[in-house]
Amino acid sequence: MNGNPIIKLGNTGVYIVTDLGKMAVFMLKAFRGVFRHPFRMKELIRQVHFIGVGSLAVIFFTAASTGMVLGLQGYYSLNKFGAEGMLGSAVSLTLIMELGPVLTALMVAGRAGSAMCAELGIMRISEQIDALDCMAIDPFRYFITPKFLAALISVPLLTAVFDVVGIAGGYVAGVGLMGVSPGAYIQGMQSSVTNHDIQLGIIKSFVFALLVVWICTGRGYFVREIRGAGFGAESVSRVTTQAVVLSSISVLIFDYLLTAVLL
Amino acid sequence: MPSAIDFRNVVKTFAKKNGELQSVLNGVSFSIPAGKTTVIAGGSGQGKSVTLKLVLGLMQADAGQVFVHDQDITRARGREMERLRTQFGVLFQGSALFDSLTVFENVALPLRERTEKSEAEIKTLVEGALAQFELSGHEEKYPAQLSGGMQKRVGLARAMQLKPSIMLFDEPTTGLDPVMTREIYHLFARTQAEFGFTSVIVSHDIPKIFNLADQVIILNNGEMDVFGSPEEIQWSEKPHIQEFVKMTMGDIYQSHLVEK
């Protein structure tokens, strides 16, 4: 009877709905942890350091190379229309509204998200989370809430760093290498970037931060309950891969949705 | 005798990979007397760990109730659950020490998180506990730097910090050599005599573990058999118990002949 495709489909449907429900409750509990006493400030600072400061180098390099490629590519395209004066506005708008938030979130998912997922997964399979529960210490307040808050603080700041470094990279490539006028680059940027564009970028970075930390910590926390994950060390490695892929895809999907709604 | 834990008609089933349901506990009822040691034995996959998780409220029963000091833990939520859990001390199979914390921080954790004690008081208490479990001088080490036996002792020291009335031990001697196993058993006997807690031990280590037992529960195919002493198990006429005795204890076993 288990070969019946309708039953399989039904089981999969039930699994997905249950999983989404558990993840929703997981997020609510993570936010409830903010109001539980005592709040662990030190852990929050440690996590901001891990997600934020720890990701600075990778963000810096990604932003610089992205900005420089945009500078070259933009110059090549705009030059065809004799509009290379628009390079500053093209580079800065692309970075602030799209590439800054998206690439920052993808980098954080790969670097910090994977680490958070693996950490929670290992804590789960070695019964450390059960041990916290048994000592009546709320695991959310203890170490999941600080991760949520740290991501919501760090990712928007990293996005800002990404934007600035990327725009500087575009300047180096466009002005330094291709000979665009520095005044035109800066002027183009100042005249075309509006508050609304920056707000869109900030909203995106908050939403992406939430998606990444939610999916990565949630997958690790529920490592034992994920279908097809297997057991032991293998389950943690599979679930970590799944978490990074799932959070990256959600970032891209939400990027489109947010752009469509807010632009 | 007052009971610390009561199982009433508890049912727990799991879905197997092929979708069939396997019943791990099939409407079992039993009591665990307060202040005594109960050993839960049975083959792999017979629901020993499930029983512990039900007691701790880490897992929900499909039907029936589990009472802890006359309060139903199957219905407890939130703060009520937290309050019930503060009565437990648990020594996990793999010790479940926090690997990013030192030995000192591990033992101090329940005191720091669950009490209002000052750092100075906590330091005195933790150092005392570490000395009691012969762990002095290892305060700054991380769990990964300790042997299996030392990890168990740290786990035990941590579990005892909030003065639990019920101690649960999940396979406490798995992975330990015979000398260390005996040391752990002595430690159990000593700490229980000192603190008088109710002790529930889930173990494979038959027959040695029976030395500690005031009551033995044997789990088999979702059913439970309760015995007052190791000898009583041998007198049982049930075929599956006889089989169990033959496999684990040999043909003749008398607890008073085993070295204490």
What distance in Å separates the CA atoms of residue B232 and residue B228, rounded to the nearest whole number? 6
Assess A26–B contact: CB distance below 8 Å, yes or no.
Answer: no
Q: Is residue B154 part of a domain?
A: yes
Question: Which residues does chain B have within 8 Å of residue A130's beta carbon, measured at their own beta carbons?
Answer: 56, 58, 90, 92, 96
Interchain CB distance below 8 Å, A134 and B114:
no
Question: Chain B, 12-31: which have a CB under 8 Å from a chain A CB?
Answer: 18-19
What distance in Å separates the CA atoms of residue A71 and residue A74, rounded to the nearest whole number? 5
Interchain CB distance below 8 Å, A127 and B19:
no
- Nearest Cβ partner for A2 among B19, B94, B97: B19
Interface test with B, best of A9, A130, A135 (most B CBs within 10 A): A135
What single-letter amino acid sits at A68? Answer: M
- Closest chain B residue to A131, measured at CA: B96
Burial (CB count <10 Å: 0-12, 13-18, 19+), residue B17 = exposed
Collapsing DSSP states into helix, strand and coil, what is residue B6?
strand
Predicted local distance difference test score (pLDDT) of residue A111: 95
Assess A6–B contact: CB distance below 8 Å, yes or no.
Answer: no
Assess B93–A contact: CB distance below 8 Å, yes or no.
Answer: yes
Question: Which residues does chain B have within 8 Å of residue A136's beta carbon, measured at their own beta carbons?
Answer: 81-83, 85-86, 114
Predicted local distance difference test score (pLDDT) of residue A78: 93
What distance in Å separates the CA atoms of residue A190 and residue B91, rounded to the nearest whole number? 63
Assess A191–B contact: CB distance below 8 Å, yes or no.
Answer: no
- Nearest Cβ partner for A130 among B81, B92, B99: B92
Q: Is residue B93 part of a domain?
A: no
- Nearest Cβ partner for B18 among A2, A123, A136: A2
Interchain CB distance below 8 Å, A128 and B99:
yes
Q: What is the DSSP letter of B19?
A: S
Interchain CB distance below 8 Å, B97 and A130:
no
Assess B162–A contact: CB distance below 8 Å, yes or no.
Answer: yes
Q: What are phi and psi of A2, to 5 degrees?
A: -80, -15
Kindly report the number of other CB atoms within 10 A of residue A89's CB atom. Answer: 19
- Nearest Cβ partner for A136 among B18, B19, B85: B85
Assess A131–B contact: CB distance below 8 Å, yes or no.
Answer: yes
Predicted local distance difference test score (pLDDT) of residue A125: 92
- Closest chain B residue to A3, measured at CA: B18
Smallest Cα–Cα separation from B159: which of B211, B117, B118, B197? B197
Question: Which residues does chain A have within 8 Å of residue B81's beta carbon, measured at their own beta carbons?
Answer: 136
Q: Are A76 and A107 in contact (CB under 8 A)?
A: no
Question: Which residues does chain B have within 8 Å of residue A1's beta carbon, measured at their own beta carbons?
Answer: 19
Q: What are phi and psi of B255, to 5 degrees?
A: -65, -30
Q: How many domains does chain B have?
A: 1
Kindly report the number of other CB atoms within 10 A of residue B79's CB atom. Answer: 9
What distance in Å separates the CA atoms of residue B116 and residue A117, rounded to the nearest whole number? 32
Question: Which residues does chain B have within 8 Å of residue A2's beta carbon, measured at their own beta carbons?
Answer: 18-19
pLDDT in tens, chain A (263 residues): 457 899 889 989 999 999 999 999 999 999 999 998 888 999 999 999 999 999 999 999 999 999 999 999 999 999 999 888 899 999 999 999 999 999 999 999 999 999 999 999 999 999 899 999 888 889 999 999 999 999 999 999 999 999 999 999 999 999 999 999 999 999 999 999 999 999 999 999 999 999 999 999 999 999 988 887 778 889 999 999 999 999 999 999 999 999 999 98
What distance in Å separates the CA atoms of residue B160 and residue B129, rounded to the nearest whole number? 9
Assess B248–A contact: CB distance below 8 Å, yes or no.
Answer: no
Q: What angle do CA A23, A218, A18 make, to 5 degrees?
A: 30
Interchain CB distance below 8 Å, B114 and A135:
yes
Query: Residue B145's domain spans which residues?
Result: 99-163
Q: Domain map of chain A by residue range?
A: 39-262
Q: Is residue B235 part of a domain?
A: no
Q: How many CB pairs under 8 A join A and B?
A: 51
Q: What is the DSSP letter of A143?
A: I
Q: Is residue B120 part of a domain?
A: yes
Interchain CB distance below 8 Å, A133 and B58:
yes
Question: Which residues does chain A have within 8 Å of residue B18's beta carbon, measured at their own beta carbons?
Answer: 2
**pTM of the predicted model, to two decimals?**
0.86
Residues of chain B with pLDDT under 50: 260
B22 CA: distance to closest CA in chain A (Å)? 16
Interface test with A, best of B16, B80, B90 (most A CBs within 10 A): B90
- Closest chain B residue to A125, measured at CA: B96
Q: Is residue B208 part of a domain?
A: no
Kindly report the number of other CB atoms within 10 A of residue A3's CB atom. Answer: 6
Question: Which residues does chain A have within 8 Å of residue B83's beta carbon, measured at their own beta carbons?
Answer: 136
Predicted local distance difference test score (pLDDT) of residue B172: 85
Q: What confidence tens digit (pLDDT) does each residue in B62-104 have?
A: 999 999 998 888 888 888 888 888 889 999 888 899 999 999 9
Interchain CB distance below 8 Å, A137 and B58:
no
Bridge-partner residues for B67, per DSSP? B6, B72
